[in-house]
Amino acid sequence: MDYAPRPDDSLFLIDTVLGAPAQLAALPAFADSADAALMRQVLEEAGRFVGEVVAPLNRTGDEIGCRFDNGAVVSPPGFKEAYQAFWQAGWPALSAAVEDGGQGLPAVLDAVLYEWLSGANHGFTMAPGLLHGAYECLRHHGSEELKARYLSKIATGEWLATMALTEAHAGSDLGRVRTRATPQADGSVLLSGSKIFISGGEHDLTDNIVHLVLCRLPDAPEGPKGLSLVLAPKVLEDGTRNAIHCERIEEKMGLHGSPTCVLRFDEARGWLVGEAGKGLNAMFVMMNAARLHVALQGIGTLDAAWQKAHAYAQERQQMRVPGATGAEPSLIAEHPAIARILDTQRAWIDGGRLIAYRTGLQLDLARHAPEPKLRERAQRWCALVTPILKAACTQQGFEGASACLQVFGGHGYVREWGVEQHVRDVRVAMIYEGTNEIQAIDLLVRKVLPDGGAALSAVLLELRDELDASREADADAQRRLAQLRYLGTSVAMAAQANPRLPYEVADDFLRVTMLGLMAWAWARIEAHSGTDDARWQAPAAAFRRHVLPEFEMRLGLVKRAAEGVLGAHAQPPGAALARQ
Amino acid sequence: MDYAPRPDDSLFLIDTVLGAPAQLAALPAFADSADAALMRQVLEEAGRFVGEVVAPLNRTGDEIGCRFDNGAVVSPPGFKEAYQAFWQAGWPALSAAVEDGGQGLPAVLDAVLYEWLSGANHGFTMAPGLLHGAYECLRHHGSEELKARYLSKIATGEWLATMALTEAHAGSDLGRVRTRATPQADGSVLLSGSKIFISGGEHDLTDNIVHLVLCRLPDAPEGPKGLSLVLAPKVLEDGTRNAIHCERIEEKMGLHGSPTCVLRFDEARGWLVGEAGKGLNAMFVMMNAARLHVALQGIGTLDAAWQKAHAYAQERQQMRVPGATGAEPSLIAEHPAIARILDTQRAWIDGGRLIAYRTGLQLDLARHAPEPKLRERAQRWCALVTPILKAACTQQGFEGASACLQVFGGHGYVREWGVEQHVRDVRVAMIYEGTNEIQAIDLLVRKVLPDGGAALSAVLLELRDELDASREADADAQRRLAQLRYLGTSVAMAAQANPRLPYEVADDFLRVTMLGLMAWAWARIEAHSGTDDARWQAPAAAFRRHVLPEFEMRLGLVKRAAEGVLGAHAQPPGAALARQ
């Protein structure tokens, strides 16, 4: 029972709810390439490729997995052929610029493609998963010479790319990276050091692999400001192998289809990308898109687990539901406990999707809107909403896939139906691209507090203005968005008195903000779907009944912590907002 | 880094907080065997065995696992020797009656032993895991002849036992079991049929395996009332193999150290246990103890994951915490997000433990109290609290082990530290012995509603009376227990108007009740530990701050559902309770 993308569901959100085609068509970059019909055509084609070529390899990827053979990595059967077909069909290049060999289509379509790829085969998806970031990084920071040699290979996916950041003693704390880069007379550098957890650090999917390596030049200051970024290819231009050695691949809980490598750089040849000491800057270019894709891994995997659980619940019979007539046992889908699991996970998938697709659209606006104000507004959205999505959707991907496993009873715990693989595979998404705890700190400490909550408030007002207060769900969402604005201001004030406080409430703050965004999302979905449309009404009801109550709980947790610092009756300047 | 039992922690709860030795010494059965010094001695010895013999085999059990070889099952290296040492040292017989070859010690010690075994090696623990239930079942329902042949072998664990219930089409719905038992002239029966998910259905740990098989005699009525229980050994008395064939073992998400078997009974010889048509009754004898042990698997695994995460957090350095001085990075244990994970999981472990140990003590009282009233009271506790513990502690075992994995970052996702194994192993505990959804229905529909909430109310009053209203935490717990009593009455009333309602709120009802019990548990732990005792104060604070707020959320969910049926202003007769 393989996962199958459902283009109609995604198109309903992108087209009907978000009105993306009209927004994109207003951008000169997409004047010819963003009408609803073309978007449908692209997504239907993508859905076929993902469903027919990528999804059937998922179990092989898990069971056979990648094999380490004396420095080389052998991909699971079928992966190489599928990847070659994937890049030759142009999928990695979907949103890359036409002048770099790309198709110049909107990033929002990329978002949908990666969600589907992740649902179909998370392990396979890791291979092209870093291409887009590497492309953006090189495009913005690479020298003309480097771009001439590597940019179009990466844009098209003919060569794959890695991000080589982590070292054994430097995980979340990249400032401690020790890999050395020694400048050479010809302008190149020689890299020495060891990196761990490098996804796709070695493999046989493509002829070459382009590594982007975080490292330190001689005499660089300690800490993050001493970091530089160096491009080092597996195969040099003269066809010789660079001195980059894969020492082993990790035995992991899941994601066996993707090799997680230990790489040793042994005076490996490379070239600086961007300025010396600005390595983290150069990397941050790719951060929002990469984090959005990780969020979509959570959503895609959850959808895949949901599809399996839903199909099983429609065919498995056990016991009779209360009030059932006749002697036959009922479908388990009719039992309230099972229906609750399925509808609640559906609420997370579609609510999370709408916010993620909107973020994909904001990436397009941030890049291509002609007015600086519009670009800034879109950048503000991406900066604030991306960490929220990354943390909340990967957590739900894991917990929700486990809930879907539960629908199968004992059959979920064995390999048979493939649902336990989703639970194992997706767990890592809560960790990589910045752990979920780091996302929460990024949101609150780095994005919300510096301006006293003003940027967050602006994003929330944007959403408020899209809602129609005469509708009940919309009015409820507006009330919650106002509460969040007030909360941001309160925490910003409290943080001045107690700098430790934001770190203590960061996880709850991220979570309550996600639930507020979900309230906006479901109000909008309900407004655009008919009241008799069971596809959307059942998850909408489950959202209100089973998901949204957590909003008050988290709000209370953060509020009490802030009030503990400010005094319960203190009125931050933003207090009036809560009553708007 | 193997798990190590910590007898002092468990003894503090059993001895100081619960006052178990005094309660047990009042029972004639334990007049000589339940003083605090003996209990300490037994547990210290148990801790050594578990830590030194069982824990070191945990990774081998996962990595090598059980191997299926043409009908036979080869256990992982070391398992057979460890099991032989285990039973010969008398551990399976701890609480079995002296006349059956047991040691006649209290069941509460069994509870601690199984918690530790599960933390050390969940796969290994599955082997003796069903012995106790099989012993109680045979002891209460077996004929004298059967008991003479099998009871002491099972009591001592010289032979292992299985519960062969599930069939491919009959998982939660045991009424649909089809395995046939055909009576023979000599009083035996011949069994024909197939069973799946039989833990330890075949192995090489012991010379014989005793299967307790749920089946159907000729002309038995359909449904649960037509089920009988038959004992069928792997090896017959004359030394020949019975016609019980292991057809395969399952590939599972985890628990590779325990073989999950498909068994085919091919006119296998067996003997009825208890009366024909009363198979489920005979099985239910073992239910409470078995479910308590599953709850303790959740707690033990969570403690094992916690021990690993705690040790790692005390040695790994990353970044500086807010307000840190000096240039050195901080221990990750000092980062608020990590401290929160560790303290919150500790709150679940110790709170869950206290309730579980109290339930073990109630099992002793239910069996051995001379006064029928005391026995009934203890039985009432077990009936109500056991499903709560089973569901809540296994869910927390999984989610909490995953939270502990998160402490390791990427290192948690690879095999290296062994924490990901705990996440995979414990997941099944949410499914077997009745899925957690079935536990919730058992609690609400079968235990709370039939008497309008009276039995639950009595249990909650028992707890209320143990609290000291002059202490703040105790008074808070009393208020919550009163809210739960009111809630039970409300739901019972609402269920009369809408019989589907309890099925819709059962999960929330179980969860809020567990949180109320945890409030009692932490109030009692705080009362018995010093206010400067960091071992208990940090989790106590985490409990109040991060765990307890869910109480209001779940309470509100159930209340609103009941009020939706009753009308918001209806006052059930129990309304006054809430104000007591």
pLDDT at B406 over 50: yes
pLDDT at B579 over 60: no
Q: Is A19 helix (H, G, I), strand (E, B) or coil?
A: coil
CA separation for the pair B565, B560 (Å, rounded): 9
Chain A residues touching B325 at Cβ < 8 A: none
CA–CA min distance B303, chain A (Å): 20
| Residue of chain B minimizing CA distance to A542 | B504
What is the residue-averaged pLDDT of chain A?
95
Asked if residue B130 lies in contact with residue B76, where contact means CB atoms within 8 angstroms, the answer is: no
Q: In the prediction, which pLDDT does B571 show?
A: 53
DSSP codes, B99-150: GGT-----HHHHHHHHHHHHHH-HHHHHHHHTHHHHHHHHHHHS-HHHHHHH
Q: How confident is the model at residue A423 (pLDDT cuts 50, 70, 90)?
A: very high
The residue among B414, B442, B547, B548 with the most chain A CBs within 10 A of its CB, best to mutate, is: B414
CA–CA min distance A552, chain B (Å): 8
Per the CB < 8 Å rule, is B436 touching A552? no
Q: How confident is the model at residue B2 (pLDDT cuts 50, 70, 90)?
A: confident
pLDDT at B575 over 60: no
Chain A residues touching B318 at Cβ < 8 A: 170-173, 176
Angle at A470 between CA A468 and CA A473, to 5 degrees: 70
Q: In the prediction, which pLDDT does A137 show?
A: 94
Check if A433 is active-site: yes
The residue among A126, A253, A544 with the most chain B CBs within 10 A of its CB, best to mutate, is: A253
Q: How confident is the model at residue A412 (pLDDT cuts 50, 70, 90)?
A: very high
Q: In the prediction, which pLDDT does B572 show?
A: 53
Q: In the prediction, which pLDDT does B283 show?
A: 85
Residues whose CB is less than 8 angstroms from the CB of residue A375 and which lie 6 or more positions away in sequence, other chains included? A365, A366, A367, A369
End-to-end CA distance of chain B: 50
Query: Which range has the worst mean pLDDT, A260-264, B330-334, B528-532?
Result: B528-532
Per the CB < 8 Å rule, is A251 touching B553? no
Asked if residue A229 lies in contact with residue A141, where contact means CB atoms within 8 angstroms, the answer is: yes
Q: In the prediction, which pLDDT does A286 show?
A: 76
Element (H, E) at A116: helix A107-120
Question: Going by DSSP bridges, is the β-strand pair B209-216/B160-164 parallel, antiparallel, or unpaired?
Answer: parallel
Q: In the prediction, which pLDDT does A571 show?
A: 54
- Cβ-based burial of B531 (10 A; exposed 0-12, middle 13-18, buried ≥19): exposed
Asked if residue A251 lies in contact with residue A56, where contact means CB atoms within 8 angstroms, the answer is: no
Nearest CB partner across the interface for B410, out of A171, A321, A436: A171
The residue among A165, A166, A413 with the most chain B CBs within 10 A of its CB, best to mutate, is: A413
pLDDT, tens digit, 9 for 90 and up, residues A77-101: 999 999 999 999 999 999 999 999 9
pLDDT at A508 over 50: yes
pLDDT, tens digit, 9 for 90 and up, residues A44-79: 999 999 999 999 999 999 999 999 999 999 999 999
CA atoms within 13 A on the CB side of A23: 23
Q: In the prediction, which pLDDT does B550 show?
A: 98
CA separation for the pair A526, B256 (Å, rounded): 46
Q: In the prediction, which pLDDT does A208 show?
A: 98
Given the cut 0.90, state whether the ipTM is greater than it.
yes
pLDDT at B285 over 80: no
pLDDT, tens digit, 9 for 90 and up, residues B548-573: 999 999 999 999 999 999 885 455 54
pLDDT, tens digit, 9 for 90 and up, residues A302-325: 999 999 999 999 999 999 998 888
pLDDT at A285 over 80: no
Percent of chain A with pLDDT over 70: 98
pLDDT, tens digit, 9 for 90 and up, residues B42-90: 999 999 999 999 999 999 999 999 999 999 999 999 999 999 999 999 9
Per the CB < 8 Å rule, is A500 touching B323? yes
CA separation for the pair A527, A469 (Å, rounded): 12
In this structure, chain B runs to a length of: 580
Per the CB < 8 Å rule, is B171 touching A411? yes
Asked if residue B402 lies in contact with residue B426, where contact means CB atoms within 8 angstroms, the answer is: no
Chain B residues touching A166 at Cβ < 8 A: 410
Per the CB < 8 Å rule, is B414 touching A171? no
pLDDT at B492 over 80: yes
pLDDT, tens digit, 9 for 90 and up, residues A128-151: 999 999 999 999 999 999 999 999
| Residue of chain B minimizing CA distance to A435 | B409
pLDDT at A122 over 80: yes
Instruction: Tell me the domains of chain B and their CATH numbers.
Output: 26-277 (2.40.110.20), 286-321+328-434 (1.20.140.10), 435-580 (no CATH)
Chain A residues touching B413 at Cβ < 8 A: 252-253, 427-428, 431
Q: In the prediction, which pLDDT does A289 show?
A: 83
Q: In the prediction, which pLDDT does A463 show?
A: 98
pLDDT at A577 over 50: no
Q: In the prediction, which pLDDT does A33 show?
A: 79
Q: In the prediction, which pLDDT does A132 show?
A: 92
Per the CB < 8 Å rule, is A319 touching B175? yes
Q: How confident is the model at residue B578 (pLDDT cuts 50, 70, 90)?
A: very low
Q: How confident is the model at residue A283 (pLDDT cuts 50, 70, 90)?
A: confident
Percent of chain B with pLDDT over 70: 98
Residues whose CB is less than 8 angstroms from the CB of residue B78 and which lie 6 or more positions away in sequence, other chains included? B56, B57, B60
**Which of B301, B333, B8, B273 lies closest to B143, judged by CA?**
B273
Q: In the prediction, which pLDDT does B324 show?
A: 87
Token representation of residue B313: 């957090």
Chain B residues touching A405 at Cβ < 8 A: 427
Chain A residues touching B172 at Cβ < 8 A: 318-319, 409
Q: In the prediction, which pLDDT does A576 show?
A: 44
pLDDT, tens digit, 9 for 90 and up, residues A374-411: 999 999 999 999 999 999 999 999 999 999 999 999 99
Asked if residue A293 lies in contact with residue A253, where contact means CB atoms within 8 angstroms, the answer is: no
Per the CB < 8 Å rule, is A322 touching B500? yes
3-state SS, B214-235, equals EEECCCCCCCHHHEEEEEEECE
Per the CB < 8 Å rule, is B253 touching A549? no
pLDDT, tens digit, 9 for 90 and up, residues A8-49: 999 999 999 999 999 999 999 998 878 899 999 999 999 999
Region A446-459: what's the mean pLDDT? 97
pLDDT, tens digit, 9 for 90 and up, residues B531-545: 788 899 999 999 999
Q: In the prediction, which pLDDT does A554 show?
A: 98
